[in-house]
Structure formats: C-alpha cells, structure tokens
Amino acid sequence: MTWKKVAEKDAIAPGKGKEFTVDGKKIAIFNQNGFHALDSICVHQDGSLAPGKLDGDVVECPLHFWHYNIKTGELLDYIKGVKLETYKVEVKKDGIYLDI
Ligand code: FES
C-alpha cells in the first residue's frame, strides 16, 4: 500500500462525499465525522455512491436507495456478506491522502 494525495484539504465539504479515480479505481471519500473512503460503485447497477445522502455512518445510493456503511463498506440491504473495499484516509498539511 502507498499513500497518495488525492485532493486538497478543503475539497470535500462536511457532510458530503466526492468521487476520485485513483489507479483506475473509482473511490468515494466522505467527510462525515472524519474522512472515510470506499469503492464508490454500487454493486446493484453501478451507481456512484459519492453523491449519496449521508445519515450517520450510512450512505444511500442515489439510484435505487441501497445503503452502505461508509466505515466498513458493508451493504446493509438485500444481500448478506457484500462489502465494498475500504481505504485508510489521512489528512496531512498539504491535502487528503489515501492508502492504496
Ligand atoms: S445502483 Fe445503487 S441501488 Fe441501484
């Protein structure tokens, strides 16, 4: 794993998420009680989770409203045992870094 800078410190507003492409992967980073990163593509029909509505640790896919835990990547509806990959995030002096 390698730390990579993905954004400036203020790139993601509190309570919001943003999608980044890092090493060809689409990753959503949420600024919700700290920063949390996970694969951004919903397993249902490939919706992007980044613009999804947040409620605590849960993001709702904007397309058909499936829910994921943004800390664990776990899908909370319909199919048991599905987990999106999660990544460590660190905010350094010069920006937001992802361990990928
Ligand atoms: S694409 Fe996410 S719920 Fe359908």
CA of 44 to the centre of ligand 1 (A): 5
**Rounded distance between C-alpha atoms, residue 40 and residue 99, angstroms:** 16
Q: Strand 53-55 and strand 35-39: pairing?
A: unpaired
Query: Of ligand 1's atoms, which has the minimum distance to the CA of residue 49?
Result: 2
Query: Of ligand 1's atoms, which has the minimum distance to the CA of residue 45?
Result: 1
Per-residue confidence (pLDDT) for residue 55, from 0 to 100: 98
Q: Dihedral angle at the C-alpha atoms of 14, 30, 23, 72, nearest 10 degrees?
A: 160
Q: What is the CATH number of domain 3-99?
A: 2.102.10.10
3-state SS string for 24-81: CEEEEEEECCCEEEEECECCCCCCECCCCEEECCEEECCCCCCEEECCCCEECCCCCC
Residue 1 has pLDDT above 90, yes or no: no
| Ligand 1 pocket at CB < 6 A | 42, 44-45, 47, 61, 63-64, 66
Query: Of ligand 1's atoms, which has the minimum distance to the CA of residue 46?
Result: 1
pLDDT digits 0-9 by tens, 52-68: 999 999 999 999 999 99
